[in-house]
Amino acid sequence: MRGDRRLFEHLDFDLESGQFMYLRGHNGSGKTTLLRTLAGLLRQEEGEILWDDTPIHRIRDSYHEELMYLGHLNALKGDLNAIENLRIDSAVRGQHLDEAAAWQLLTDIGLRGHEDLPTKYLSQGQKRRVALARLWINRSALWILDEPFSALDATSVDVLQAIIRQHLARGGMAIVTTHQEVDLTSGEVCCVVLGARDA
Amino acid sequence: MLETLLWIIRRDVTIALRRRTDIFTTLIFFVIVVSLFPLGIGPELDTLRLIAPGVVWVGALLASMLALEQLFLADHRDGTLEQMLLAPQPLSLLVIGKVIAHWLITGLPLVIMAPLLGLQYDLSLEALKVMIWSLLLGTPTLSLLGAIGAALTLGLRSGGVLVALLVLPLYIPVLIFGAGAVEATTSGLGGSSHLSMLGAILLLALLGTPFATSAALRVSAE
């Protein structure tokens, strides 16, 4: 429910270790709303979201320990550079990322040489890459990614796909909205389409 | 936990130092408001001494409120607030970090500036000392209480005005005891009891407000 509009009903799915879920639907069908609800940012009007058979709002902190959510917004501070952003982001999640590890991470995502620039001067795609760099060091079980491929160039798309594959191979789960085909060799895939009755 | 707290403080202070306008607007606002009164009233030292504590405190109140709107707004816009809500850390801890940073950026400069402004009002050295203490104990309470208002009005279009309506009534006890401390000193009664009350209010605010602010943030972020 958003305002007084019913976005989806009779929605029922479960996701198991190693599974990948596509969330599809046309613009405005409620993909982001569903993802935010799954992450616990919104409360659903009816029904329940269970994690290990427990409603997520009852085990909020331990659920969030297992969750990595990346929304439309990159959650970067424009006045800080990429390294500061990454280190602070880990600290907020309660993990320690030392300077050397942050440097290594920046090299991995191919942004070495831009480390002194405040992120507001980076291009849209570069910002997205910094935001996605969190996935490299993240060991949460469930990744919820809202349009992760937007603004990325072809190479970065390949790299991100590889990261998602690795995550699934480790037994992780991922829920992703995208208009793009993700070519995944391993892992089970399921697909939920929103707003199908209008189509 | 402590490391997270320090990182949050460090983050907000770094950002504020890189774009200093926020610090200076609050400070200059305070200086101007407090300086206007001697100009308007004229050089009657007895009157000035009498109104000094009230004027300085009202100035501090308004200045700290001016900066409130920015407390969570930038984080809300760029998505970092979402990440904080989803962090496996107690949200109230992150809130305390943000409030401490906010006080360092907007409250502490006021405390440092106040004695200089007090000179315009011909306050005695003793009264100036008490004024610093009262501001030092009082302004953190203002930031803590104000954070609730800032969190509640997050994302609303006319948030600034609404914050004022929500928060100013809550500031009244701080104003009474803050200005009272300085008045009591000038009249020779000694301001220590007022200062103790300010300290008590600060402790209460420190205990209660982070939870209220966290709850308000969760509602506003929907």
Residue A143 and residue A174 in contact, taking contact as beta carbons nearer than 8 Å: yes
Residue B190 is which amino acid?
Answer: G
Q: What is the DSSP string of B24-91?
A: HHHHHHHHHHHHHHHHHH-S-HHHHHHHHHHHHHHHHHHHHHHTTTHHHHHHHHHTHHHHHHTSSS-H
Q: Does A154 touch chain B (CB under 8 A)?
A: no
pLDDT at B192 > cutoff 60: yes
Rounded Cα–Cα distance for residues B209 and B211 (Å): 5
Q: Which residues pair with A67 in a beta bridge?
A: A142
Q: Tell me the residue range of the domain where A192 lies.
A: 1-66+140-199
Specify whether A62 is located in the same domain as A147. Answer: yes
Q: Which residues pair with A109 in a beta bridge?
A: none
Specify whether A166 is located in the same domain as A111. Answer: no
Q: Does B221 touch chain A (CB under 8 A)?
A: yes
The distance of B173 to chain A (nearest Cα, Å) reads 34
**Higher-confidence residue: B101 or B187?**
B101
Q: What is the mean pLDDT of chain A?
A: 79
Specify whether A151 is located in the same domain as A109. Answer: no
Position B132 scores a pLDDT of 92
Specify whether A151 is located in the same domain as A178. Answer: yes
Q: Where are the beta strands (DSSP E) in A113-187?
A: 142-146, 173-177
Q: Does A10 touch chain B (CB under 8 A)?
A: no
Phi and psi at residue A117, to the nearest 5°: -75, 135
pLDDT at A2 > cutoff 50: no
- A12-26, A138-152, A178-192: least confident range: A178-192
Name the domain boundary from A121, A139, A157.
Answer: A139
CATH of the domain at A12: 3.40.50.300
Specify whether A129 is located in the same domain as A151. Answer: no
**Interchain CB distance below 8 Å, A77 and B83:** no
The distance of A133 to chain B (nearest Cα, Å) reads 14
**Interchain CB distance below 8 Å, B80 and A67:** no
Q: Chain A contacts of B82, Cβ < 8 Å?
A: 41, 69, 71, 73, 75
Residue B222 and residue B155 in contact, taking contact as beta carbons nearer than 8 Å: no
Specify whether A83 is located in the same domain as A122. Answer: yes
pLDDT at B70 > cutoff 80: yes
The predicted model gives A20-27 an average pLDDT of 80
Task: Give the residue extent of every domain in chain B.
Answer: 2-221
The distance of A185 to chain B (nearest Cα, Å) reads 30
Specify whether A145 is located in the same domain as A132. Answer: no
**Higher-confidence residue: A151 or B24?**
B24
**Residue A199 pLDDT level (bands cut at 50, 70, 90):** very low
Q: Does B151 touch chain A (CB under 8 A)?
A: no
**Percent of chain B having pLDDT more than 70?**
100
pLDDT at A192 > cutoff 80: no
Distance of CA A108 to the CA centre of its chain: 18
Position B137 scores a pLDDT of 93
Residue A73: closest CA among chain B residues belongs to which residue? B79
In A93-123, alpha helices (H):
99-108
Position B202 scores a pLDDT of 94
The tens digit of pLDDT for each residue in A24-71 reads 777 777 788 888 888 888 887 777 888 888 888 888 888 888 888 888
Specify whether A163 is located in the same domain as A193. Answer: yes
Q: Does A1 touch chain B (CB under 8 A)?
A: no
Structural domains of chain A, count: 2
Rounded Cα–Cα distance for residues B58 and B207 (Å): 25
pLDDT at A15 > cutoff 50: yes
pLDDT at A1 > cutoff 60: no
Specify whether A147 is located in the same domain as A116. Answer: no
- Cα radius of gyration (chain B): 18
Which of B15, B77, B85 lies at the smallest CB-CB distance from A79? B15
Phi/psi class of residue B42: alpha, beta or left (left: φ > 0; alpha: ψ in -120 to 50)?
A: left
ipTM: 0.81
- Cα radius of gyration (chain A): 17
The tens digit of pLDDT for each residue in B130-189 reads 999 999 999 999 999 999 999 998 878 777 788 888 899 999 999 999 999 988 888 888
User: How far apart, in Å, do the first and last CA atoms of chain B sit?
Assistant: 26
The predicted model gives B99-125 an average pLDDT of 89
Position A116 scores a pLDDT of 79
Q: Does B94 touch chain A (CB under 8 A)?
A: yes
Position B175 scores a pLDDT of 92
Position A183 scores a pLDDT of 65
- Closest among B142, B111, B135 to B206, alpha carbons compared: B142
For the purposes of burial, counting CB atoms within 10 Å of the CB of A3, is it exposed (0-12), middle (13-18) or buried (19 or more)? exposed
Position B216 scores a pLDDT of 92
**Interchain CB distance below 8 Å, A67 and B87:** no
Q: Which residues pair with A19 in a beta bridge?
A: A188
pLDDT at B101 > cutoff 90: yes
